[in-house]
Structure 1
Amino acid sequence: MKARVTFHAVHYFDERPQAESRPATVPLVLPDLHLRLETDRGVFSPDRVDTGTRILLESVPPPPAEGDLLDLGCGYGPIALTMATRSPQATVWAVDVNRRSLDLTERNATAARLDKVRCVHADEMPEQVRFAAIWSNPAIRIGKPALHAMLTRWLDRLLPEGAAYLVVQKHLGSDSLQKWLTEQGWTATRHASRAAYRILKVTPR
């Protein structure tokens, strides 16, 4: 039997990663912000800000100025902190199943003085919160059944006027995901395409 913890790529799916801690920092440089983020082993893309995440942040329109915004699968926080920087009056919910990721995001938000970032485990998110926007680099590698269940759970919490932006690599199934979303009743369109990544815009069903 394969031991899950021996594969670096899947550590970030675990609630409490077994990978030995090895703290580091990575830069997040965008036209409108420059942050240095704490990272660690056992979280998604600890050595650099993932290409898909960067393309998402460079491609999406500004988030709503107010309300509740969601970073689904926050990792160490590049998406959540960008949303909070661009919409300082909004409340940004950084959600993950990985406790190490949540701790890193909280520390990074504190260091950046972004006090409206709320770091919450996926199972501890208040049920009544609805989102004006969702930005996500979703965990495609968890497999289609788990991915579809996760997206259904969170996309159904979009406000009627809200929108989600998802970044997915073409070779990891962006086109089939867009088709599935449409079949389930959401409106899913290709917002942008760059370097084999698709940015899907999803609006409520």
Structure 2
Amino acid sequence: MANHYFSEQPETKSERKTIREVIKGESYQFRVDRGVFSKGGLDFGSRLLIEAFEPPGVEGPIVDVGCGWGPIGLTVASTHPKTQIYMVDINERSVQLAKENATLNRVSNVTVERNNLLDGFDDNFFSVVLTNPPIRAGKEIIFSIYEQAKRMLKTNGDIWVVIQKKQGAASTLKKLEELGFEVNVEVKSKGYFVFRGKNN
């Protein structure tokens, strides 16, 4: 457990490096490290989610749950500079990297917090919940994200989820629909699904 990316304090020896990624035509620099999710660079699923994302009609803050070193939240913040973006992760190393990456990319409309999922946020607060969920943490944790999102999203707000078919896309779709989201498949590519759930 100590060396998983969803651990609070990874024991894996730090081995930082700086990478460059071109996302939606813009160039970014990111610091990455061992002991965090996708330490080698931007993963395919997160890229799909970023490229598919469209803001909803309702205004309000956006949150990236399980932000890792920050690619989803920071690119959304960069392309939507008038919107406040919250980025949360349980992993101390991820949170530190995300904060540094915000500075590195001159993104100021973000708040990065070490937090257990969405604990402590108010109901009906967010316009969007974005997540590439921590699959290895287990279905109970993943479903908790969806349940919290349902309470904390404004009416007509959206939850965006990227997940592989083999990692539980079908059960995610079922859970979101059970919670009352109106779900669309926005993208399907190489076994990955990007779901958009409207909070009616």
> Normalized against structure 2, the TM-score is what?
0.91
CA distance in 2, matches of 1:155, 1:122: 18
Conserved in 2, the CA contact under 8 Å of 1:178 and 1:189? no
- Equivalent of residue 103 in structure 2, options 99, 103, 110: 110
CA distance in 2, matches of 1:65, 1:132: 6
CA distance in 1, matches of 2:56, 2:113: 20
CA distance in 1, matches of 2:97, 2:59: 24
Q: Which runs of 5+ in 2 are unaligned?
A: none
> Normalized against structure 1, the TM-score is what?
0.89
Conserved in 1, the CA contact under 8 Å of 2:56 and 2:157? no
1:8-23 maps to which residues of 2 (within 5 A)?
Answer: 11-23=4-16
- Equivalent of residue 162 in structure 1, options 157, 162, 174: 157
1:137–1:192 CA distance, 2 compared to 1 (3 A): same
Return 100-109 or 189-198, whichever deviates more.
189-198
Asked whether 1:179 is paired with 2:168, we answer no
Aligned residue number for residue 68 of structure 2: 75
CA distance in 2, matches of 1:32, 1:91: 22
Counting matched residue pairs gives 198
Asked whether 1:93 is paired with 2:92, we answer no
When the two chains are superposed, the root-mean-square deviation of aligned CA atoms in Å is: 2.0
- Equivalent of residue 138 in structure 1, options 133, 138, 147: 133
Conserved in 2, the CA contact under 8 Å of 1:192 and 1:200? yes
- CA positional deviation for 1:33: 1.6
Percent of residue pairs identical: 32
Asked whether 1:127 is paired with 2:121, we answer yes
CA distance in 1, matches of 2:57, 2:7: 31
- CA positional deviation for 1:38: 0.2
Aligned residue number for residue 189 of structure 2: 194
CA distance in 2, matches of 1:64, 1:73: 24
1:64–1:119 CA distance, 2 compared to 1 (3 A): farther
| Structure of higher RCO (CA pairs closer than 8 Å, 6+ residues apart) | 2
Return 104-113 or 63-72, whichever deviates more.
63-72
1:149–1:62 CA distance, 2 compared to 1 (3 A): closer
Conserved in 1, the CA contact under 8 Å of 2:58 and 2:127? no
Q: Structure 1: which amino acid aligns with 2:158? A: A
1:41-60 maps to which residues of 2 (within 5 A)?
Answer: 41-60=34-53
Conserved in 1, the CA contact under 8 Å of 2:14 and 2:33? yes
User: Which is helix-richer, 1 or 2?
Assistant: 1
Q: Structure 1: which amino acid aligns with 2:44? A: T
Runs of 4+ in structure 1 displaced over 3 angstroms? 62-66, 123-126
Conserved in 1, the CA contact under 8 Å of 2:64 and 2:130? yes
